[in-house]
Amino acid sequence: MAPYPNSRNKNFNRNRGPKGLRRNERIKAAQVRVIGPEGTNLGVMPPHKALKLAKDVGLDLIEISPQARPPVCRILDLGKFLYEESKKQKENKPVGNKLKEVKFRVSIDQHDFETKLRRAEQFLYRGNKVKLTLQFRGRENEHKQLGFERVNLAASELEGVSSADNPAKLVGRQVTIVLSPLPSQKRQLKFSLPEDDFEDVEDED
């Protein structure tokens, strides 16, 4: 039997299989629906007959849909099956729960401001928290209120996808506010489309 990555991982052994997964002699249903190695439906039969078919080709009989009536089993290599399931779980793992930072300047022009908002909106739409940061430089320190106004405007423009954790605050020479994404079903994009591509790289002010 050909080896596959992770076919000997800590969650199973060849005698029992992973927790909760029935295979071979552990399948106890009176009848099972059998899917062959190539995905063809071989029909309904007793598990001992299905197991013989699996052993004849050097593979395992794996119960993939225990809640079906009758349960659905497939003739596969157990190591390959677990490897593919592991890949699916990794691919379906939500991308989010990271803190992203988007930086502004007091003197930012409208086009660049909207570009920053689009970037922040995409981060939030994908489930990430976003920290909006406005850095004061030189004489800009004399106009801190303008910084608060700019950050609060950005936060209000992003209300379709987020809510502020706390009011904007001054930390040293910068004003910051942290936004958390709304529940996925409530997120409404204003500056971009769900399918828009964007580069997930470090932001620059």
- Confirm whether 195 is domain-assigned: no
Task: Tell me the residue range of the domain where 137 lies.
Answer: 99-186
Tally the domains of the chain: 2
Whether residue 83 is found in the same domain as residue 62: yes
Which region holds residue 145: left if phi is over 0, alpha if psi is between -120 and 50, else beta?
Answer: alpha
Whether residue 78 is found in the same domain as residue 49: yes
Give the per-residue pLDDT at 92. Answer: 60
Measure the CA–CA gap between 121 and 168, rounded to whole angstroms: 18
- Confirm whether 105 is domain-assigned: yes
Give the per-residue pLDDT at 175. Answer: 94
Whether residue 109 is found in the same domain as residue 171: yes
Query: Which 3-state string (H, E, C) describes the chain?
Result: CCCCCCCCCCCCCCCCCCCCCCEHHHCCCCCEEEECCCCCEEEEECHHHHHHHHHHCCCEEEEEECCCCCCEEEEECHHHHHHHHHHHHHHHCCCCCCEEEEEECCCCCHHHHHHHHHHHHHHHHCCCEEEEEEECCHHHHHHHHHHHHHHHHHHHHCCCCEEECCCCEEECCEEEEEEEECCHHHCCCCCCCCCCCCCCCCCCC
Residue 177 φ then ψ, to 5°: -150, 140
45-91 residue pLDDT tens: 999 999 999 999 999 999 999 989 999 999 999 888 888 888 777 66
Whether residue 115 is found in the same domain as residue 179: yes
One pLDDT digit (tens) per residue for the chain, 205 residues: 444 344 444 444 443 455 578 899 999 999 999 999 998 999 999 999 999 999 999 999 999 999 899 999 999 998 888 888 887 776 665 555 789 999 988 888 999 999 999 999 999 999 999 999 999 888 877 778 889 999 999 999 999 999 999 999 998 899 999 999 999 899 999 988 776 766 665 566 6
Whether residue 126 is found in the same domain as residue 160: yes
